[in-house]
Amino acid sequence: MILNIILINCPDCTVSHILKLADQFQMKRVVKQAEKHLNQSNGIDKIKKLVLADKYGLESVKYYCLDSFTSLTEMTSKLKLSKELYTFSDGMKATICDRVVSLAKV
């Protein structure tokens, strides 16, 4: 499949563009492939992944990213540096708050 070739050759710089096109043309299979790639990729910043997850409804990416934060300090420092924090949907903000609370309990 051509998507695999594109993602293998230049994964981190193209996934957001692929998601945009796949969403625009309602290509659910392509969205799922990009979602799988985001979950496996270490080269894309967690906040960027959260932005894409929020924008395209990628629930597994959202939870995978949030669960990858191992400390409250790590999570809050990343979020404080991010301008994207203010662009998140209310649902994403609520999920982030839930994760902050769960990290605070540990």
Residue recorded with tokens 């934060």 = 69
User: What integer is the mean pLDDT of 18-41?
Assistant: 90
Q: Model's pTM, two decimal places?
A: 0.88
What is the number of helices (H) and of strands (E) in the chain? 7, 0
Per-residue pLDDT band at 38 (split at 50, 70, 90):
very high
- Residues of the domain holding 78: 2-105
**Closest CA relative to residue 7, chosen from 68, 72, 16:** 16
The backbone torsions φ and ψ at residue 10, rounded to the nearest 5 degrees and listed phi first, read -150, 65
Chain-centroid distance of CA 64 in Å reads: 8
* Residue range 53-104, pLDDT digits in tens: 999 999 999 999 999 999 999 999 999 999 988 999 999 999 999 999 999 9
Tokens encoding 72: 């409250």
Distance CA(49)–CA(36), nearest Å, equals: 12
